[in-house]
Structure 1
């Protein structure tokens, strides 16, 4: 007997699920692989082609900078081309991630970021790197200053707004009502409202809700099982989901070429699933395909692959990949 086709036209391939920070940027994945082998010319070509698409440039430099040997090869690139602003930006990103890994002093990363910023004053990416650094080692004021520099260069900078949302969610809880009026919500409502029409920053309220859950569940004030937390049942979740899904319905299509789109879709489907909106979740799972992201599926301390697969199977039916 021939088995029935998978629901919603979903592929049954067992090899489709990836947790790659490069997302669907295949040239970036190729350049990262080349850089890991010391062939920095591929990164040079990629960044030259990226130009002043600031969201894409930031995404690509962050992914390239996360490689364990990236700082070494960025220095080699600088020796060959001392005036290269792209080499300086890569070194800045790589040095920041060495600090995050406990292999470098924060001051070295700060110097590298400021040196890169001096070479390309219009580029928000060195300041994005400083924001990543400030989230891990800096004060609240340092986070705000770095974010202001990012936003001053690109008002709808995607990664910058996501990082600031996480930073604010991690600040001490002032409200006694489960966080419904936490300052992070004020920030994302303002940022989403200020963003241009069609901007994926419309999903920021969903991101804030997930980030605040992570912080509260880690602290033990909410259950570690997000489905049992009730966090996605209230008015705040409903409001955020409506805003995010309305953006998706209105602007889905060829114009959706944002380099970090799949991260937004993962936040959105994660929330739709936990809120019990199966039809919306099915459409989003179908659109995501294998481009899963660690966050928010890992929140607060779960295996993201198992969490993603379990949610997708619950929505698309038994036997879905």
Structure 2
């Protein structure tokens, strides 16, 4: 089956160097800009209209929570029983906690309490539980994007990694709590995209000093999640995500080259098989409407580049256009915009990203 037709690749001179966490969600961009100016009404309308599209709600709420914690408290004061206001306030506190910016409140405890309040106001919504999961993974020492990454935006998630516990019993307790919260999310939305990404990044951190291991548990988890999901679920890409997250951990410990394409990490049989399976799934099931599809496509493009598969990478870069994401292009410690742009130019040719006459 031929690859989907390419989208237009915007001119390189106009490509933003600050990666936009909204991706291609124009409505989210408008609401975020208003929130940054202290106006919460657009966010209120957006989240109300999102309804129970849980992946979209999680994405939108997480991006809105990137803004300074000014408008969200005003919204909650004006509408104390509004579940969306409570959720946004909770995720904002979670974000500040994992970033170490806890001035003016009690950090972890306040963020956790805010998530509980939001969960009580919206019992069927997995988004407050996603906030609790982020806190639990932060406390146990990992999470989506854990480790030092460069870039600005939602996709660098827990960029400041928590040191974790030296006490083995405390670590087991925190891991058990993370699993429990993950199941709370899944009870409300079994294929929750962000929750699965969080767990993959967390599991990739385990046995970090043991070196490459094709039987590592993160691969088993990702394969299980992909297999149990419906045929059209974007969790089909999760095994590719797991491979990149494990590379992040191994490269940071010095087990693999800091140049992902030269690391050999994408050269073994398992890596080639999960990449082929994920790419074939994309050709058959591509979801234009999924709010985080561009994150998945960036992981898949990164993998095809590292594996030296230019035909597949070319189709993916055309579809991605300029919507680069911090993960995984920042791994292990790279400028994501520069890494993405260099990989795209190598794949498509330097002329691909220059302005062309209409």
In structure 2, distance between residues paired with 1:174 and 1:184:
15
Structure 1 residue aligned with 2:76: 78
Aligned counterpart, 1:281: 313
Could you tell me how far apart the structure 1 residues matched to 2:11 and 2:78 are? 48
In structure 1, stretches of 5+ residues that fail to align are 1-6
Structure 1 length as normaliser, TM-score?
0.93
| Cα distance change on mapping 1:279 and 1:94 into 2, 3 Å | same
SS of the residue corresponding to residue 252 of structure 2 reads helix
Residue matched to 2:38? 38
Partner of 1:167: 202
Q: Relative to 1, partners in 2 of residues 1:291 and 1:10: Cα closer, same or farther, differing over 3 Å?
A: closer
Partner of 2:243: 209
Residue 142 (structure 1) shift: 2.3
TM-score by length of 2: 0.83
User: Contact 2:10–2:322 at 8 Å: present in 1 too?
Assistant: no
What are the Cα deviations for residues 35-85 of structure 1, in whole angstroms up to 9, with x where unaligned?
Answer: 11110011000000000100000000000111123xx32211111111100
Q: Which residue of 1 aligns with 2:233?
A: 199
Per the alignment, in what secondary structure is the counterpart of residue 308 of structure 1? helix
- The residue number in structure 2 matching 1:3 is none
Please tell me whether the aligned partners of residues 22 and 28 of structure 1 are also in contact (alpha carbons under 8 angstroms): yes
Aligned match of 1:4: none
Three-state SS of the structure 2 residue aligned to 1:14 is: helix
Question: Structure 1 stretches (4+) deviating beyond 6 angstroms?
Answer: none
Partner of 2:124: 122
* Mapping of residues 80-119 of structure 1, within 5 Å: 80-104=78-102, 105-119=107-121
1:55 and 2:55 correspond:
yes
Distance 1:287 1:40 in 2: 33
1:103 deviation in Å? 2.1
In 1, the alpha carbon distance for the partners of 2:117 and 2:134 equals: 16
SS of 2:19's partner is coil
Match in the other structure for 2:13: 14
Structure 2 unaligned regions, length at least 5 = 1-5, 141-173, 354-358
User: In the alignment, which residue of structure 1 is the partner of 2:176?
Assistant: 141
1:219-238 mapped onto 2 (5 Å cutoff)? 219-238=253-272
| 1:238-253 alignment runs, 5 A limit | 238-252=272-286
